């Protein structure tokens, strides 16, 4: 058999290269344009885009923050390996995103919060829950989102440019960090919106080319079941044997709902397990909720959620089907099964389904378009990395830094946020070798399984916090700790023994690893909820005056709320005020010298880092807090409600058709 890597098409023709360079110049241009347009000198401006977004950037930005190159590589790879069931992860979101807009965001808006841990702090008081959440969110960001996105971007660049992984990833990270650090969230939302459209257009073109190549949908149905590699005999019979199950496509490849015991994605897990992990991701995750909080009004949030839902119908057709086509067209590479051959094709013995999408881009697209598609993929990678950098710096500054230094001024917070982004970049670069080694056969399964072990307790606590007044701090805290311990009892042994592959099964005991990860997520969710309710009902309830506008049933109340964390807030305000006073005294003496120095280079640097003039910051007294407005114009309210019902009908039809 010829060496499959010898016929690698690398992108080296001028058409492709000029398109890639031009695209990046344009993206950075948009970032700089929005930097001078929006107010970034305040915390609300840098982190929430001044709460001025209309519905379509919100919807597009929700979709773009969610779809990274991890989706292209992961969904297409799992599609190539086992068929369309993985599309259920995407289509489940159609329902969850409506919960976000209709039930969760109204409460977050009336609570008047910027981050999710901040909400829990107001809802329960105390600081241990919000600290737990900040730390675990940062942990999840670095190890499931950033590392996965970087690995999948690297797979792409390796297939297309033949670059070294590290060079490619470091270049990308530097460009991304550059526009996150200079532009704040507004720059992100404009570039996000722009990239979403380019990503979808590029993916449509590729889908068209690949269906044409394979001979249409009916040809895919016919040919997929016979997409078998030409070489499937063991090269080392003493070490392993290859059974036909390992290289023959699944019989149920074209059904979404599979057997609850033998299916690779069993239907109870697909219907309920994914909904729980999705509830955590869509309704309580900083990256997503931050996009909604930046919207102009609640109606804009809802319309944005509907738009995002419709966009979520696309990945099945733009990623999963092309992944399956890739296996039909390149069974020896994408469907390889002999470990030695796989090692040669893509550098890992477990299997090469992850290269399905990049392989298709590099082989099927014509010159010029191939460059555009690569630029788009890198842009998708940058967009999702940038949104994670932005959100994790928000989390770190607002929830962890203000604990260490309650007297921090606005300017200090913004600078700390930027330095933190640079720290994350460094950690992520160090984590690349781990991701390279830990590419278990299917990237998407890795993301979902880690989420299924850590996220259900968080989803449970948020759901109960928003809808059950009786839940208190003790209940929520012990629920989170109990859930975390249960999740780790499953996650650590699984990583210790390895997930194994078809040829080399894992020797993790059945009692620990035998339950499918989606089923485990369901069990974990209900155990946590039971624990939270049990402890809450055995301890003292929280008085209503602390809960006005913090739970769903009291979201419209007009009474004054006495925040449980008001003492902490007050202490922070006092220390900040003292710091400003002190600064003002010092400033009066050095004002003249400062003024002369500030012109020229220093002024430019200040402009880049969003530190507006300091005088402006000191003069504004703290305004009394006004009640957030979640009233809606009846006409528009019914319009978005009707649209939501139509979208649910579409979703039910799609599920039924492919089930």
Contact between 421 and 177 under an 8 Å Cβ cutoff? The reply is yes
What percentage of the chain exceeds 90 in pLDDT?
32
| Choice among 150-154, 608-612, 635-639 with the minimum mean pLDDT | 608-612
Q: What is the pLDDT of residue 580?
A: 76
Q: What is the pLDDT of residue 593?
A: 47
Residue 14 pLDDT exceeds 70: yes
* Among 11-15, 331-335, 627-631, the range of highest mean pLDDT: 331-335
Average pLDDT of every residue of the chain: 82
CA-based radius of gyration for the chain:
26
Alpha helices in 14-164 (DSSP H): 14-37, 43-48, 55-66, 69-82, 87-99, 105-111, 116-124, 128-140, 147-161
Q: What is the pLDDT of residue 371?
A: 86
Which band of pLDDT confidence, cut at 50, 70 and 90, is reported for residue 45? low
Q: Which string of DSSP letters, residue by residue, matches 208-233?
A: HHHHHHHTSHHHHHHHHTT---S--S
Which comes out higher in pLDDT, residue 606 or 128? Answer: 128
Residue 624 pLDDT exceeds 50: no
**Cα–Cα distance for residue pair 121/47, rounded to 1 Å:** 19
Q: What is the pLDDT of residue 605?
A: 53
Rounded alpha-carbon distances, angstroms, from residue 532 to 204, 395, 472, 491, 529: 46, 25, 8, 22, 5
Residue 614 pLDDT exceeds 50: no
Least Cα distance to 370 among 80, 62, 7, 16 occurs for 16
**Interval 381-398 mean pLDDT:** 77
Which band of pLDDT confidence, cut at 50, 70 and 90, is reported for residue 615? very low
Residue 574 pLDDT exceeds 90: no
Q: What is the pLDDT of residue 535?
A: 97
For 77-88, what is each residue's pLDDT tens digit? 999 988 999 999
76 contacts: CB under 8 Å, gap ≥ 6 = 319, 320, 322, 323, 326, 356, 357, 360
Q: What is the pLDDT of residue 507?
A: 82
For 90-121, what is each residue's pLDDT tens digit? 999 999 999 999 999 999 999 988 888 889 88
For 220-268, what is each residue's pLDDT tens digit? 999 999 999 998 888 888 888 888 888 899 888 999 999 888 888 899 9
Residue 143 pLDDT exceeds 80: no
* Among 158-172, 252-266, 473-487, the range of highest mean pLDDT: 473-487
Residue 488 pLDDT exceeds 70: yes
Which comes out higher in pLDDT, residue 173 or 182? Answer: 173
* Among 1-10, 41-50, 360-369, 594-603, the range of highest mean pLDDT: 360-369
Which band of pLDDT confidence, cut at 50, 70 and 90, is reported for residue 385? confident
Which comes out higher in pLDDT, residue 435 or 177? Answer: 177
Residue 15 pLDDT exceeds 60: yes
What angle in degrees, to the nearest 10, is found between the helix axes of 128-140 and 369-395? Answer: 160
SS3 content of the chain, % helix, strand, coil (to 5): 75, 0, 25
| Choice among 34-43, 233-242, 449-458 with the minimum mean pLDDT | 34-43
pTM of the predicted structure, to 2 decimals? 0.83
* Among 2-6, 333-337, 575-579, the range of highest mean pLDDT: 333-337
Q: What is the pLDDT of residue 268?
A: 93
Residue 193 pLDDT exceeds 70: no
Residue 622 pLDDT exceeds 70: no
Which comes out higher in pLDDT, residue 599 or 382? Answer: 382
Residue 481 pLDDT exceeds 90: yes
Which band of pLDDT confidence, cut at 50, 70 and 90, is reported for residue 597? very low
Residue 3 pLDDT exceeds 60: no
For 356-374, what is each residue's pLDDT tens digit? 998 898 888 888 888 887 8
Residue 340 is encoded by which pair of tokens?
């030695």
Q: First CA to last CA across the chain, in angstroms?
A: 39
Which band of pLDDT confidence, cut at 50, 70 and 90, is reported for residue 215? very high
Q: What is the pLDDT of residue 632?
A: 83
Alpha helices in 162-285 (DSSP H): 165-214, 217-224, 267-268, 274-284
**Cα–Cα distance for residue pair 250/230, rounded to 1 Å:** 17
Which comes out higher in pLDDT, residue 328 or 406? Answer: 328
**Interval 510-535 mean pLDDT:** 93
């Amino acid at each position: 058999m010829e060496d499959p890597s010898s016929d690698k098409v690398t992108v080296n023709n001028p058409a492709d290269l000029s398109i890639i360079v031009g695209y990046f110049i344009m993206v950075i241009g948009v970032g700089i344009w929005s930097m001078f347009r929006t107010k970034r000198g305040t915390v609300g401006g840098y982190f929430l885009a001044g709460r001025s977004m209309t519905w379509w950037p919100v919807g597009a930005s929700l979709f773009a923050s969610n779809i990274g190159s991890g989706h292209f590589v992961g969904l297409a790879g799992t599609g190539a390996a086992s068929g369309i069931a993985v599309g259920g992860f995407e289509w489940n979101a159609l329902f969850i995103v409506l919960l976000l807009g209709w039930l969760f965001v109204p409460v977050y808006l009336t609570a008047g919060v910027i981050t999710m841990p901040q909400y829990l702090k107001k809802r329960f008081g105390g600081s241990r829950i919000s600290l737990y959440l900040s730390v675990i969110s940062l942990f999840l960001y670095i190890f499931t989102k950033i590392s996965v996105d970087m690995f999948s971007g690297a797979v792409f660049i390796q297939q297309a440019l033949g670059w070294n992984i590290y060079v490619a990833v470091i270049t990308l990270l530097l460009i991304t960090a550059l526009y996150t650090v200079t532009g704040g969230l507004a720059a992100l939302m404009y570039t996000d919106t722009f990239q979403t459209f380019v990503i979808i257009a590029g993916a449509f073109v590729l889908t068209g080319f690949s269906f044409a190549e394979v001979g249409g949908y009916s040809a895919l149905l016919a040919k997929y079941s016979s997409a078998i590699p030409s070489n499937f005999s063991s090269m080392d019979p003493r070490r392993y044997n290859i059974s036909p199950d390992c290289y023959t496509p699944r019989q149920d490849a074209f059904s979404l709902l599979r057997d609850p015991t033998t299916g690779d994605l069993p239907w109870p897990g697909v219907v309920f397990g994914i909904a729980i992990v999705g509830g955590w991701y869509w309704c309580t995750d900083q990256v997503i909720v931050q996009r909604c909080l930046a919207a102009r009004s609640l109606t804009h949030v809802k319309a944005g959620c509907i738009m995002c839902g419709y966009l979520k119908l696309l990945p099945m057709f733009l990623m999963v089907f092309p992944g399956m086509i890739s296996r039909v067209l390149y069974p020896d590479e994408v469907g390889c099964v002999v470990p030695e051959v796989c090692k040669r094709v893509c550098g890992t013995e477990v299997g090469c389904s992850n290269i399905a999408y990049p392989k298709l881009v590099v082989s099927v697209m014509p010159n010029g378009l191939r460059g555009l598609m690569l630029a788009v993929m890198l842009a998708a990678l940058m967009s999702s990395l940038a949104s994670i950098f932005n959100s994790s710096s928000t989390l770190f500054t607002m929830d962890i830094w203000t604990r260490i230094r309650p007297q921090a001024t606005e300017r200090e917070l913004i600078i700390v946020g930027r330095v933190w982004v640079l720290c994350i970049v460094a950690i992520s670069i160090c984590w690349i070798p781990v991701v390279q080694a830990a590419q278990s056969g299917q990237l998407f399964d890795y993301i979902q399984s880690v989420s299924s072990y850590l996220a259900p307790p968080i989803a449970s606590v948020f759901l109960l916090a928003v809808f059950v007044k009786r839940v208190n701090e003790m209940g929520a805290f012990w629920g989170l700790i109990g859930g975390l311990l249960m999740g780790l009892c499953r996650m650590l042994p699984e990583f210790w023994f390895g997930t194994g592959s078809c040829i080399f099964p894992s020797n993790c005991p059945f009692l620990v690893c035998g339950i499918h990860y989606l089923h485990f997520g369901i069990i974990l969710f209900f155990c946590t909820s039971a624990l939270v309710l049990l402890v809450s009902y055995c301890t003292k309830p929280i008085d209503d005056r602390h809960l006005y506008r913090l739970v769903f049933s009291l979201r419209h109340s007009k009474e004054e709320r006495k925040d449980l964390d008001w003492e902490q807030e007050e202490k922070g305000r006092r220390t900040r005020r003292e710091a400003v006073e002190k600064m003002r005294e010092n400033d009066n003496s050095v004002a003249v010298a400062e003024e002369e120095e500030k012109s020229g280079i220093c002024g430019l640097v200040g402009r880049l880092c969003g530190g507006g003039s300091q005088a402006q910051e000191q003069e504004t007294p703290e305004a009394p807090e006004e009640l957030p407005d979640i009233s809606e114009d009846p006409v528009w309210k019914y319009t978005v409600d009707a649209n939501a019902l139509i979208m649910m009908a579409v979703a039910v039809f799609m599920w039924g058709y492919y089930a």
